[in-house]
A = this chain, B = another copy of it.
Amino acid sequence: MNNRVNSEFSSVGGWAKRCYFAGRALMETTLRPYDLGSTQWYVLWHLATNGPTAQRDLVRLLDLERATLSGIVAALVRKGLVDQSAGGKDQRQRTLQLTEAGKTLWSDLPDLHFIHDAAFGDIDPADLAIAIRVLQTATGRLHDLLGKGNNE
Q: Does A123 contact B (CB under 8 A)?
A: yes
Interface size on A, residues (CB 8 A): 50
Interface pick from A81-89, A100-108, A135-143:
A135-143
A window 68-122: CB within 8 A of B:
112-113, 115-116, 118-120
Given A142-B26, A146-B26, are A12 and B135 also a contact pair (CB < 8 Å)? Answer: yes
3 tightest A-B contacts by CB? A22-B142, A15-B135, A119-B138
| Interface assignment of A5: CB less than 8 Å from any CB of chain B | yes
Evaluate contact between A12 and B132: CB separation under 8 angstroms: yes
Complex copy number for this chain: 2
| Beta-carbon contact of A119 and B146 below 8 Å | no
Is the Cβ of B19 less than 8 Å from the Cβ of A142? Answer: yes
Name the prevailing secondary structure of the A interface residues.
Answer: helix
> Does A67 lie at the interface of the complex (its beta carbon under 8 Å from any beta carbon of B)?
no
- Report the minimal beta-carbon distance from A125 to chain B, rounded to whole angstroms: 11
Q: How far is the CA of A20 from the CA of B119 in the complex (A)?
A: 18
* A32-44 contact mask (Cβ, 8 Å, vs B): 1 or 0: 0000000000100
A-B contact pairs, 21 of them (CB 8 A): A12-B131, A12-B135, A13-B19, A13-B119, A15-B131, A15-B132, A18-B139, A22-B138, A22-B139, A23-B142, A25-B146, A29-B146, A118-B141, A119-B139, A119-B142, A123-B134, A127-B133, A127-B134, A130-B130, A130-B131, A131-B135
